[in-house]
């Protein structure tokens, strides 16, 4: 009966994690999945989260259903974090927001909504992008294409080509953008470049879908939203998927949000109702725990400030690892320029290693990174960085 079912070989990023777990070598290093590990190699439980968790245990609330679109306090907190407190779009009720099952859930609900109400719309993702972007949009029935983005020659953006590409797209095309900490390259547009891109998007009547999964890991919590806020400021309707997996270290709790900034509050009311309907028929309502934790952290000034400090500790540790890796590699191979490790932003670096070199790192040294050469900098720590740098230098020779 099921003999024609096609076998799913697994996701390249998550399968790598399984392979890593089975590797018996004690020297192994996991630089694959986008998870922040502290300097001891552990996924941290943030102090601000612990405080809120103990309050929740004490209150011992019943495990009731949440509304289809999540806790109102959570939804408001997401809007403020993305657009800024008292933003006109929020106060005038122009933003539809739902809690989602992580960033992936937000992308999927957004894609379902687009497919239903704008069935002709094609989606465009950066070349390269996080592989699941393509799967999620295609899974919702949307045709997906790539726009030019990363230039391996300059280790920057193919900016002229990108602008040219955008100008010839159909009105209403969805442009999936990474407002900060581009996954997988770590290469972000400058503010001036964002201004130019968003102007083209506006003039050509394209629709930006901003996927922000690493807010706070680039510059800071505010600056990392530059592209989102700019898009809203110039009057664009924007889809925003956000995630607390990384910046609150709440990976398995699946806490994210989907916001759609609409032209009017009446349109936001219609959109909100359809997002709820999409949720109802997909999974009915979001998990409660993460929503309670995050809304408490974000709604209380003291906890918010505490969280902000903890995000910056994570960001700074990643930056330190970037500098150290750069120093060691630059000393070992002086005629090659490794400064891109310092310029790239967020958790990831496109190392420039080819699939054979990545395979050698895994087989000879137990150093795991994604086949396309993406390395998760947050897997480096003071105990393994010299080992990794040496291994990289060996395969680069």
Write down the catalytic residue from 230, 246, 276, 362. 246
Quote the CA–CA distance of 195 and 189 in Å, as a whole number: 10
Residue choice 29, 34, 142, 229 for contact with ligand LMR (CB under 6 A): 34
Catalytic, 130? Answer yes
Write down the catalytic residue from 158, 211, 230, 307. 211
Minimum distance from CB of 34 to ligand LMR (Å)? Answer: 3
Minimum distance from CB of 285 to ligand LMR (Å)? Answer: 23
96 or 377: whose CB is closer to ligand LMR?
A: 377
Among 170, 125, 118, CA closest to 144: 125
Q: What is the 3-state secondary structure (H, E, C) of 290-303?
A: HHHHHHHHHHCHHH
Minimum distance from CB of 174 to ligand LMR (Å)? Answer: 20
Residues binding ligand LMR: what is the number (CB under 6 A)? Answer: 6
33 or 166: whose CB is closer to ligand LMR?
A: 33
Q: For residues 249 and 43, is the Cβ–Cβ distance under 8 A?
A: yes
The yes or no reply on residue 33 touching ligand LMR (CB under 6 A) is yes
19 or 267: whose CB is closer to ligand LMR?
A: 19
Catalytic, 211? Answer yes
Quote the CA–CA distance of 386 and 397 in Å, as a whole number: 16
Minimum distance from CB of 243 to ligand LMR (Å)? Answer: 8
Residue choice 20, 36, 74, 130 for contact with ligand LMR (CB under 6 A): 130
Which string of x and - marks every residue 144-183 that binds ligand LMR (by CB under 6 A)? ---------------------------------------x
303 or 349: whose CB is closer to ligand LMR?
A: 349
Of all residues in the shown chain, the one whose CB is closest to ligand LMR is 34
Judge if the upstream peptide bond of residue 358 is cis by omega within 30 degrees of 0: no
Give catalytic residues, as residue numbers. 130, 211, 246
Please give the residue ranges that form the binding site for ligand LMR (CB under 6 A).
13, 33-34, 130, 132, 183
């Amino acid at each position: 009966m099921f003999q024609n079912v096609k076998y799913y070989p697994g996701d390249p990023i998550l399968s790598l994690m399984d392979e890593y777990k089975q590797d018996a070598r004690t020297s192994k290093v996991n630089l694959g999945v986008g998870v922040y590990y502290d300097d001891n190699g552990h996924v941290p439980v943030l102090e601000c989260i612990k405080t809120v968790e103990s309050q929740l245990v004490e209150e011992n609330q019943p495990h009731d259903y949440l509304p289809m679109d999540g806790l109102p306090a959570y939804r408001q907190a997401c809007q403020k974090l993305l657009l800024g407190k008292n933003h006109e779009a929020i106060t005038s009720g122009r933003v539809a927001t739902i809690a989602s099952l992580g960033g992936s859930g937000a992308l999927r609900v957004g894609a379902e909504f687009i497919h239903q109400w704008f069935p002709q719309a094609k989606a465009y993702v950066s070349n390269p992008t996080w592989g699941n972007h393509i799967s999620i949009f295609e899974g919702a029935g949307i045709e997906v294409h790539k726009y030019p983005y990363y230039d391996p020659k300059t280790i920057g953006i193919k900016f002229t080509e990108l602008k040219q590409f955008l100008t010839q797209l159909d009105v209403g095309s969805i442009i999936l953008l990474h407002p900060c900490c581009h996954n997988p390259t770590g290469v972000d547009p400058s503010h001036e470049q964002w201004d130019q891109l968003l102007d083209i998007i506006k003039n050509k009547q394209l629709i930006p879908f901003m996927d922000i999964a690493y807010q706070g890991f680039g510059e800071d919590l505010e600056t990392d939203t530059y592209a989102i806020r700019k898009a809203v400021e110039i009057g664009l309707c924007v889809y925003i998927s956000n995630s607390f997996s990384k910046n609150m270290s709440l990976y398995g709790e699946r806490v994210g949000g989907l916001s759609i900034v609409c032209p009017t509050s009446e349109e936001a009311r219609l959109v909100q109702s359809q997002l709820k309907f999409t949720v109802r028929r997909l999974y009915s309502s979001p998990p409660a725990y993460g929503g309670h934790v995050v809304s408490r952290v974000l709604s209380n000034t003291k906890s918010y400030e505490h969280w902000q400090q903890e995000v910056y500790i994570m960001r700074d540790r990643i930056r330190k690892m970037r500098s150290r890796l750069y120093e060691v590699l630059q000393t070992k191979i002086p005629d090659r320029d490794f400064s891109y490790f310092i310029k790239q932003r967020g958790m990831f670096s496109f190392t420039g290693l080819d699939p054979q070199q990545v395979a050698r790192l895994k087989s000879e040294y137990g150093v795991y990174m994604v086949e396309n050469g993406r390395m998760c900098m947050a897997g480096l720590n003071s105990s393994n960085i010299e080992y990794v740098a040496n291994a990289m230098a060996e395969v680069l020779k």
